[in-house]
Amino acid sequence: MNNNLLFIVSSLKRGGPINQLWELLNNKNFTGDYSILSLSDLDLPGSRRGDFELLGVKLYSLNYNGQNFYRLSREILSFINKNDFYRVISQGFRSDISVAMISGNLPCKPYAILHNYIYYDYSYTYGIFRALIMTFCHVRALKAFDIISVSESVRDFVRNKYSLKSTAIRNGVVINSQNEKRCSNLTESKVTRLIYVGVIDKRKNVMKLLEAFKRVKRSDIELLVVGDGPLKKLLQNGDDNRVKYLGQREDVKDLLLTSDVFLSASSFEGMPMAALEALASGLPCILSDIPPHRELINLSGNFGCVTNYDTCDLSKHIDSLISISRFDILSDFSIYLSSDLMAERYSDLILESRG
């Protein structure tokens, strides 16, 4: 039986889609023989190459960062023909466009993992005109795939907006194995620690988050901002000494363990990996009021709340969440959002649809 799977990605750069892929391949419930083909160099800044190599995943690269989809599609097809892959799983704009162009030459219909709100994410990054072109191309390409959406919110959005049918499988992560350390760490501190983890850009609305934080007139509170991005320097010019800018860090799980509440004011998400990692560390979340965040919070009353960061009283939200039991958060997380659950559903869907 041929269970060889090929995941095709734009790059291995750390971020939601690649973090989700690592969680999937790291799970024992996801069976089969799998490889990853990166369109770009394996060693771009921020690459998780080493993490995948530790899993024993076979990695390949086309070493191409451009947008020549004809070239990409030919090279992808040539690579597949030289190897014995029974199914292709694509994720990302460049990969989806390229694979769609050769879908008729593949052994079976490919899968696409859809992480984003098409058009809206593109408009934030590339502007309206380019976003319209990218949206037209991406929607048309996705018709060649069986689509997996990373949340019910994304599934419903692309169905209602673009008439694209997909199967929703929520992202999942492994519960932080060091959770037992968290209680002892927190008892040593009298400060309530909030934390944001992610890209510092326009879409993530970190400035809006900071403005809400500044309205909290308390000295027994601090905010850690973890990440990098085009707006980092602008945010660092603030004068609130309760805000700590930590930049890109490799010890995010440890920082989550010594924090009390996770914050996100993002405008668009598919299914936010950073929030999932926070919940997997026993942190309640205060999230912006967008469909994927509502989907996440509605799974359990222990997961936190959604709010409008423009007008919210952040202090009241913090006081209402700080007493939630870490055990209750982790218990509900294991039921709804564990990596085991995600891996089982991917394995069932991809392997059972062989043919």
* Secondary structure element (H or E) that encloses residue 71, with its range: helix 69-82
Q: What is the DSSP letter of 355?
A: -
Q: Which residues of 143-163 are buried (b: 16+ CB within 10 A; e: fewer)?
A: ebbbbbbbbbbbbebbeeeee
pLDDT, residue 91, reads: 96
Residue 159, pLDDT above cutoff 80: yes
pLDDT (tens digit per residue) in 270-295:
999 999 999 999 999 999 999 999 99
Q: Does this model's pTM top 0.85?
A: yes
Determine the topology of domain 4-173+338-352 in CATH: Rossmann fold (3.40.50)
Q: Which two tokens stand for residue 42?
A: 């394996």
Q: Is 32 left (phi over 0), alpha (psi -120 to 50) or beta?
A: left
What is the three-state SS of 95-163? HHHHHHHCHHHCCCCCEEEECCCCCHHHHHHHCHHHHHHHHHHHHHHHCCCEEEECCHHHHHHHHHHHC
Helical pair 152-162 and 128-142, crossing angle rounded to 10 deg? 100
Query: Beta partners for 66?
Result: none
Cα–Cα dist 257/277, whole Å: 10
**84-131 residue pLDDT tens:** 888 999 999 999 999 999 999 998 999 999 999 999 989 988 899 999
Rounded to an integer, the average pLDDT of 13-33 is 90
Just give the CATH number of 180-336.
Answer: 3.40.50.2000
C-alpha 56/C-alpha 50 separation (Å) is: 10
Residues of the chain with CATH 3.40.50.2000: 4-173+338-352, 180-336
